[in-house]
């Protein structure tokens, strides 16, 4: 081949390679930009927690307004994405008799010594995401690094307040055939009522270096659209606590769109080192370990959803802390131990037993709790987007000690929970949702004096979700 032709061929090959590389690079970069999304939420929240036994004539709550802004890129080269979320929260109202506003806002003391929750702004999420290519069969997964939401193992974020609580760390999620797996490592948290990220601590203020959580689940797809799902989750807070959870859930259609769900859950948490002091929120929790088991059932029947469950808790404690009289003096009634499912004072842990009310968890030592509830979707009656629900929770068997005589008395508690959800169907109000929860928590006299609690709990949300691009 003449030299001229060889040079021309080399030039053509090089030009073709350069053109292809540039096209691929441009295509990858275009996906990174073109698939970028920005959306958000406007939220207003009102909390009124009225404890009729403690700090009479005072409430714990507030009314806030909030803005969430989420930005997420597309994947560069089907591999890398970035994202973040800004949260801004402002106080709209807080009653002068408010004892504290911890449910929605950070607490700060004014010059007169009263608590006055303030608004805040924060960059709650800022992460880099690396994922496996879509071309790999039967395997998918990604790892996310930075500030982020985490619902992995028994580590949890929370989105039920003015802003979301987020963690700093690493999160891996993946799927291998019908296996779902997850792993998380976290070392700081920004709670749902505060600005900034903070080290994890126990209730004496000592630092917990890290929490690691993992999960593994497998779904068996059976004949006639039935499913059996097995799930395991854990969390390890260094020198503090470690916990395990197992779940079995069976789903079967029974006629048309009607679905019956049956299952069971088991929780266990145990002391892992000297950072665990046997208490939570300054009350006795358990000495060395605690367990909880739960059986549950659900039935979706046309527009109805029915639920039922029963749980039993064991959380023994040797610590004795008395309830208080109205003047603040001890009244001689010693509270029972209690399951603790977080992994530090400023952390959240996953706890998903359906027997707990939202005003009171009902997880005292020796307690057996029963739950029954129902909700109805009014769409079939022409009221699109409206759902009403009610549940009753009743717990008994926990013992309160009379410190003067040493006698123990079996006690009980119950809670009535109501909820309303309305998703606005009107096109001009698309993305707007109203939600109200109201819990009425009551107990017998011995337990009430020991825990200083009998409560009405009202929580209201109005959200507007929007998309910018």
Residue-wise pLDDT for 244-254, tens only, equals 999 999 999 99
CB 171 within 8 A of CB 148: yes
How far is the C-alpha of 135 from the C-alpha of 187, rounded, in Å? Answer: 34
Of 240, 215, 105, whose CA–CA distance to 151 is shortest?
215
3-state secondary structure the chain: CCHHHHHHHHHHHHHHHHHHHHHHHHHHHHHHHHCCEEEEEEEEEEEEEEECCCCCCCEECCEEEEEEEEEECCCECCCEEEEEEEEEEEEEECCCCEEECCCCCECCECCCCCECCECEEEEEEEEEEEECCCCCCCEEEEEEEEEECCEECCEECECCCCCCEEEEEEEEEEEECCEEEEEEEEEEEECCCCCCCEEEECCCCCEECCEEEEEEEEEEECHHHCEEEEEEEEEEECCCEEEEEEEEEEEEEEECCEEEEEEEEEEEEEECCCCCCCEECCEECCCCEEEEEEEEEEEEECCEEEEEEEEEEECCCCCCCEEECCCCCEEEEECCCECCCCCCCCCCECCCCCCCCCCCCCCECCCEEEEEEEEEEHHHHCCCCEEEEEEEEEEEEEEEEECCCCCEEEEEEEEEEEEEEEECCCHHHCCEEEEEEEEEEEECHHHHHHHCCCEEEEEEEEEEEEECC
Residues of the chain with pLDDT under 70: 1-28, 54-60, 96-102, 107-117
| CA–CA gap between residue 175 and residue 160 (Å, rounded) | 28
Q: For residue 241, which of 283, 212, 217 has the smallest C-alpha distance?
A: 212
Q: Tell me the two tokens of residue 111.
A: 């010059």
CB-based contacts of 83, cutoff 8 Å, min separation 6: 70, 71, 72, 73, 125, 126, 127, 129
CA-CA distance, 455 to 443, in Å (whole number)? 10
Whole-model pTM: value is 0.90
Predicted pLDDT at 239: 98
State whether CATH 2.40.160.10 applies to domain 37-467. yes
pLDDT of residue 99: 54
Distances (CA, A) of 253 to 70, 225, 228, 231, 303: 38, 7, 12, 21, 15
Instruction: Look at residue 26 in the predicted model and tell me its pLDDT.
Output: 59
Look at residues 399, 398, 235, 369 and name the one whose alpha carbon lies nearest to residue 294.
Answer: 369
For position 171, what pLDDT does the model report? 98
**In whole angstroms, what separates CA 184 from the centre of its chain?**
15
> Which tens digits make up the pLDDT trace of 37-72?
999 999 999 999 888 776 555 666 789 999 999 999
């Amino acid at each position: 081949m003449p030299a001229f032709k060889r040079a021309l061929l080399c030039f053509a090959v090089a030009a073709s390679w350069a053109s292809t590389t540039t096209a691929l690079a441009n295509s990858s970069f275009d996906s990174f930009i073109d698939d970028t999304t920005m959306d958000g939420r406007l939220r207003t929240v009102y909390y009124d927690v009225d404890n009729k036994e403690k700090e009479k004539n005072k409430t714990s709550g507030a009314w806030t307004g909030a803005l969430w802004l989420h930005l997420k890129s597309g994947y560069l080269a089907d591999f890398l994405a970035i994202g973040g979320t800004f949260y801004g929260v402002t106080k709209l109202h807080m009653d002068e008799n408010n004892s504290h506003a911890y449910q929605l806002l950070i607490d700060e003391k004014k010059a007169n010594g009263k608590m006055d929750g303030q608004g805040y702004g924060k960059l709650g999420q800022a992460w880099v995401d690396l994922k496996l290519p879509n071309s790999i069969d039967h395997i998918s997964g990604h790892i996310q690094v930075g500030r982020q939401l985490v619902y992995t193992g028994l580590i949890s974020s929370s989105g039920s307040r003015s802003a979301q609580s987020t963690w700093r760390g690493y999160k891996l999620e993946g799927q291998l055939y019908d296996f779902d797996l997850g792993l998380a490592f976290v070392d700081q948290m920004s709670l749902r009522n505060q600005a900034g990220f903070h080290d994890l601590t126990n209730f004496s203020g000592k630092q917990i270096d890290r929490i690691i959580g993992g999960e593994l689940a497998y779904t068996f797809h059976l004949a006639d659209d039935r499913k059996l799902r097995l799930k395991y989750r854990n969390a390890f807070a260094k020198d503090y606590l470690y916990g395990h959870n197992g779940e079995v859930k069976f789903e079967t259609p029974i006629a048309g769109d009607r679905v019956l769900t049956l299952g069971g859950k088991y929780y266990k948490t145990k002391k892992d080192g000297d950072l665990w002091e046997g208490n939570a929120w300054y009350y006795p929790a358990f000495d060395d370990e605690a367990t909880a088991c739960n059986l549950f059932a659900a039935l979706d029947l046309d527009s109805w959803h029915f639920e039922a469950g029963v749980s039993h808790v064991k959380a023994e404690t040797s610590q004795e802390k008395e309830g208080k009289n109205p003047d603040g003096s001890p009244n001689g009634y010693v509270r029972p131990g209690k399951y603790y499912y977080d992994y530090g004072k400023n952390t959240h842990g996953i706890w998903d037993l359906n027997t707990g009310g939202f005003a009171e968890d009902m997880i005292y030592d020796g307690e057996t709790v029963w739950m029954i509830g129902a909700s109805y979707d009014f769409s079939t009656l022409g009221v699109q987007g409206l759902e009403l629900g009610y549940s009753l929770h009743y717990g008994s068997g926990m013992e309160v000690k009379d410190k003067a005589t040493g006698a123990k008395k079996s006690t009980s508690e119950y809670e009535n929970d109501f909820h309303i959800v309305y998703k606005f169907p009107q096109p001009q109000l698309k993305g707007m949702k109203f939600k109200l929860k109201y819990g009425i928590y009551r107990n017998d006299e011995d337990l009430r004096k020991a825990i200083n609690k009998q409560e009405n709990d009202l929580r209201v949300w109005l959200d507007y979700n929007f998309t910018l691009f």
